[in-house]
Amino acid sequence: MATVLAIETSCDETAVAIVKNRHILSSVISSQIPVHQRYGGIVPEVASRQHVETLNSAIAQALQDANLTWAAIDGIAATCAPGLVGALLVGLTAAKTLALLHQKPLIGVHHLEGHIYASYLTAPHLQPPFLCLLVSGGHTSLIYVKDCGHYETLGQTRDDAAGEAFDKVARLMNLGYPGGPIIDKLAQQGNPQAFPLPEGQISLPEGGFHPYDSSFSGLKTAVLRLTQKLQQMTDILPVEDLAASFQATVAKALTKRTIACALNYGLDTIAVGGGVAANSGLRHQLQTAAQAHHLRVLFPPLTLCTDNAAMIACAAADHLERGHSSPLTLGVQSRMAISDVMHLYS
């Protein structure tokens, strides 16, 4: 039952948490959304600078909230891949410094593995194997969770990630940033059948791709063309109906692929992670479809859907208990397949 302090700075949240035995002792999250809203998206250099300014106080706050001293910490963890290189460097450098200063093992964590472990925090008795639908601003993947550190990607997006599609559609409708929560709120007031939209059919060339891959660029283009057509007909866009139709289409596409994948691989549990796991349309469609096939679906609470350090600490604690630690020469990577997780440990 290792106690781990973890740092998450892969993108635009500065987060620090302490976890023991799949239980959150403290979790501090400093969001940069207000800073990046003026730019309409994340500016990497600004994100890195905000991490530098915020991280030390977040670490102190996490220790204070958990009522622990450094003597009670068994390991120091940090997200090291994938993500914004500058942002990742801030967190990993801080973790290395703390590991040296307090003579603790360092555990580098893959960001996507962290999102998988959000489900372990939600259901502490969860055990592999199970299927994880990981949907966020940068990733849309179906991952076969075989054991700690052992994963197989069964499907992924060919182009835009689901969360990225939400942001882009919100931008073309001038709804603001971040797009996911705004579209979700509007969709609850609209008609999801108002506008038929393409789910994104995937062709399978010979020797080609996974049958559970997704594609959202065509859907995004369809919404753009529909919006342009409606603007020629009316001065006021039916944004609620557009949002509801778009959201329902994304949820339907993800649900169909996820259920088919789980059934084909004989997996009776589906864990959902990432920012889009907070989407009400996806939650409703996937839960309904899963019940029809007697499958269990686990959605984390909203605080564990978006980036947080508790999920990183939970993953790190599991690795540490299995004797895994990272060398102090560990670097950061902007891209890294989740199947390469064990390369992070010596």
Q: For residue 177, how many other CB atoms are within 10 A of its CB? A: 18
pLDDT computed for residue 340 by the predictor = 97
pLDDT value of position 39: 72
Instruction: Give alpha helix (H) positions in 32-159.
Output: 33-37, 44-66, 85-102, 111-122
Burial pattern 45-66, b for ≥16 Cβ within 10 A else e, equals ebbbbbbbebbeebbeebbebb
For residue 203, what pLDDT is reported? 54
Per-residue pLDDT for the chain (346 aa), expressed as one digit of tens each? 899 999 999 988 999 999 999 999 999 999 877 777 777 777 888 889 999 999 999 999 999 999 999 999 999 999 999 999 999 999 999 999 999 999 999 999 999 999 999 999 999 999 999 999 999 988 999 999 999 999 999 999 989 999 999 999 999 999 988 899 999 999 999 999 999 999 876 555 444 557 899 999 999 999 999 999 999 998 899 999 999 999 999 999 999 999 999 999 999 999 999 999 999 999 999 999 999 999 999 999 999 999 999 999 999 999 999 999 999 999 999 999 999 999 999 8
Q: Which domains does the chain have, with CATH numbers?
A: 3-116+305-344 (3.30.420.40), 127-303 (3.30.420.40)
Q: What pLDDT is attached to residue 19? A: 98
Residue 110: strand, helix, or coil: strand
Cis peptide before 205 (omega within 30 of 0): no
The pLDDT of residue 43: 83
Q: Distances from the Cα of 292 to the Cαs of 192, 268, 278, 288, in angstroms?
A: 21, 12, 22, 7
pLDDT for residue 42: 79
Question: Positive or negative CA dihedral for 116, 122, 127, 131?
Answer: negative
Residue 31: partners with Cβ closer than 8 Å, 6 or more residues away: 12, 13
Q: What is the pLDDT of residue 202?
A: 58
pLDDT value of position 201: 62
- Spell out a b/e string for 85-121, using b for 16 or more CB atoms within 10 Å of the CB, else e: ebbbbbbbbbbbebbeeeebbbbbbbbbbbbbbbbbb
